[in-house]
Amino acid sequence: KAGVTQTPRYLIKTRGQQVTLSCSPISGHRSVSWYQQTPGQGLQFLFEYFSETQRNKGNFPGRFSGRQFSNSRSEMNVSTLELGDSALYLCASSLVDRSYTEAFFGQGTRLTVV
């Protein structure tokens, strides 16, 4: 069974540009969550999608947005990139969005903003 797939694995962008990251969850999983990981802040929750609906959102500016498609694949977009957006972006998928489910992470996309 394939795991969570994130593309691309690495990205280098310039300040002011925008970027789109993709996440394909484990087959059958309908919940996708996104996290930003930096050495100083650890894993910070961005947002969670279930059945194409954003169910939860973390404390990030509106430059960070996401969406989920009918096949449960998800994308996140960061507009007007800043140097501080350099981080490892991780997505995690779960079977459903109830409490008693485990989340599995993809390999992440490492974004560098120069």
Task: Quote the tokens at residue 11.
Answer: 């990205």
Site string for other proteins, 13-52 (x = CB under 8 A): --------------------x-x------xx-x--x----
CB of 10 to other proteins, least distance (A): 12
Q: Which of these, 91, 75, 99, 104, lies nearest to 2 by C-alpha position? A: 104
**Three-state DSSP class for 8?**
coil
CA 73 from chain center: how many Å? 11
| Binding to other proteins, residues 50-69 (CB under 8 A) | 55-56, 58
Quickly count: other Cβ atoms within 10 Å of residue 16's Cβ.
Answer: 10
Stretch that binds other proteins, among 11-19, 21-29, 68-76, 104-112 (CB under 8 A): 104-112
Q: Please, what is the minimum distance in Å from the beta carbon of residue 80 to other proteins?
A: 26
Shortest gap between Cβ of 96 and other proteins (angstroms)? 10
Q: Are 113 and 10 in contact, with CB atoms under 8 Å apart?
A: no
CB of 112 to other proteins, least distance (A): 14
CA 62 to each of CA 25, 65, 80: distance values in angstroms, whole numbers, following the listed order: 24, 7, 10
Residues that bind other proteins (CB under 8 A): 33, 35, 42-43, 45, 48, 55-56, 58, 88, 90, 92, 97-108
